[in-house]
Amino acid sequence: MNTVPIPVVIVGAGPSGLTVATLLAQYGIESLLLERWEGVYPQPRAVHLDGEVRRIVERLGIGAGFDAIARPALGLRLVDPRHRVLAQFDRDPGGGRNGFPEANLFDQPELEALLRANVARYPTVSLRGGVEVTGLVVEKDCVRVDFDDRATGGTDSVQARYVLGCDGANSLVRTVIGARMRDLRFEQRWLVVDIATRTDPGHWGGVHQVCDPRRAATYMRIGDTRHRWEFRLRPGESADDYRDLARLWPLLAPWLADADREGLELVRVADYTFRAQLADRWRAGRVFLLGDAAHLTPPFVGQGMGAGVRDAANLSWKLAGVLRGELPEQVLDSYETERKPHAHMMIRLAKLTGLTMTEGGELGNRLRSLLAPRLHRVPGLTRTIISGESPPLHRSALVVAPPLRRGLAGRLVPNERMADGRRIDDLIAGRYAVITTAGPAPTESVTVEQRGGVVVRAGPGTSLYRWLRGGRASAVLVRPDGTVQTCGTTLSDLSSSLPSFAPSARPAHTGSPSPHTPD
């Protein structure tokens, strides 16, 4: 056992665990990742992340690598049981308010390989695979983590100041801290099919949702040669009924009728139970839950993996600030306060979307055929769907707004491109920022910079200026995760709320190219 506690032990090296380890490393925080698999889990699972999460991917330093394996989706198309278009919501693949495409399709094993290669460039991160965590024991000022080596059968332990449970839906960490999953009353069984082919089926390049209570389905092209279908299973059906292409063909034929069946490779077929669940608590002292350990969402709005990455982005800078002595320990309470309601809102949206496309019988089909083509007439609905802006974070010690008016507090700042070509995220770079419509006095800029922050001026006529004025603010304090902490009239109004918090550390060289860092 280590005699000096490791600052952070992360249980689980999936997307959430790898993301939080990387972000902590950018602040110079040492961590140990414990993962039951030796390498990347080979089966495809998540296939979508939105523009907000794509911003986090950029911050991790793998933006270019991700773009090489990802396919921007053109939007969402709702179709009836005969595949006739009911409604279509187009998205600009060139990017929106987040500076990147608002729908990105990919293969999860390829993304995890990128994340692993990237985190290996930080000497402060250690990854130990092939181990099974068996228990946590709270000691005087740390947590003992016990685990078994799956290859040798040996046992070991480490001490950690904080433990992050990123160990999935069947989380041991969640069980150990006594947290329970609250059932949000959604359960459907679906068949997930992944196929590789060099044949181009010629379909529209967005996500297709088949609204059909008898056999709801989803289709999307996730790469040059990879395609994903999801079909709702009927009572009594299972993946065993569809183990080969011959038995799958009645489901796939509407999509691949003209394809050469000899050129199709069945990568995976599996049945999944889509559930909506939320842990009743996400923290017990020095132990936190992230990702599927804290929440499970149906996949209808593509927010399952993204929610865990958002957890990592929210918690990492706060935990780094506490460990470096720059922030009080109480800021860690804001993690659950902010993220739990946000995750709950996204789960409710996914439930509503799933029920809308799968329930109602023949009457539901008739209503969809009547109402869906008119959805674009609902004021603000299309803009809401395609804008890429998720709900604001809940008020907390780090999201401060007047009692009767939220304004911009809790919202993510738009990732606008500045006059010098850099985007807002490049300028913030994991530190505090003050964005103001007025030119700051030299002494004000010096004060902000001495505390590790940066001042950004939004000049008249710019979209960032219009965003501030639309939120009835002349200045905002933006946190290191890009969220508006509070609004004010002048920079001096916000200076008292600005802590001393150093910007992200540049990645250390370990014999391979450094991850991207903004100019």
Distance CA 426, CA 415 (A): 9
CA distances 318 to 26, 143, 312, 492, 515, Å, are 13, 19, 10, 24, 22
The CA radius of gyration of the chain, in Å to the nearest whole number, is 24
Domain ranges in the chain are 6-67+107-182+277-352, 411-496
User: How far, in Å, CA of 207 to CA of 90, rounded?
Assistant: 10
Res 509 pLDDT > 70: no
> Which residue's entry shows tokens 């391979």?
512
Mean pLDDT lowest among 15-19, 161-165, 357-361, 380-384? 380-384
Residue 519's pLDDT is 32
Q: Residue 168 and residue 13: Cα distance in Å, rounded?
A: 10
Please give the mean pLDDT across all residues of the chain.
88
One of 3.40.50.10320, 3.30.565.10, 3.70.10.10, 3.50.50.60 is the CATH number of 6-67+107-182+277-352, namely: 3.50.50.60
Neighbour tally for 350: CB within 10 Å: 23
Instruction: Give CA–CA dist 456/270, Å, rounded.
Output: 49
Torsion sign across C-alpha atoms 114, 116, 119, 123:
negative
Q: What is the 3-state secondary structure (H, E, C) of 254-307?
A: HHHCCCCHHHCEEEEEEEEEEEEEEECCCEECCEEECHHHCEECCHHHCCHHHH
The distance from CA 90 to its chain's CA centroid, rounded to whole angstroms, is 22
> What is the DSSP pairing of strand 143-149 with strand 454-457?
unpaired
The C-alpha atoms of residue 111 and residue 267 are separated, in whole angstroms, by 17
In sequence order, the β-bridge partners of residue 230 are 192, 218
Q: How far apart are CA 417 and CA 394, in angstroms?
A: 27
Q: How many residues in total does the chain contain?
A: 519
Tokens describing residue 51: 């523009």
Most confident listed range (70-84, 105-119, 406-420, 493-507): 105-119
Q: What is the spatial distance between Cα 16 and Cα 27, in angstroms, rounded to a whole number?
A: 17
Report the percentage of the chain scoring pLDDT > 90: 64
Question: Under a CB-based contact definition with an 8 Å cutoff, are residues 475 and 437 in contact?
Answer: yes
The position carrying tokens 């773009």 is: 67
Q: What is the CATH number of domain 411-496?
A: 3.40.30.120
Query: Which segment of 36-40, 118-122, 158-162, 239-243 scores lowest on mean pLDDT?
Result: 36-40
Over range 372-393, report the average pLDDT.
64
pLDDT tens-digit profile of 56-87?
Answer: 999 999 999 999 999 999 988 889 888 988 88
Question: Within 13 A of 107's CA, how many CA atoms are on the CB side?
Answer: 23
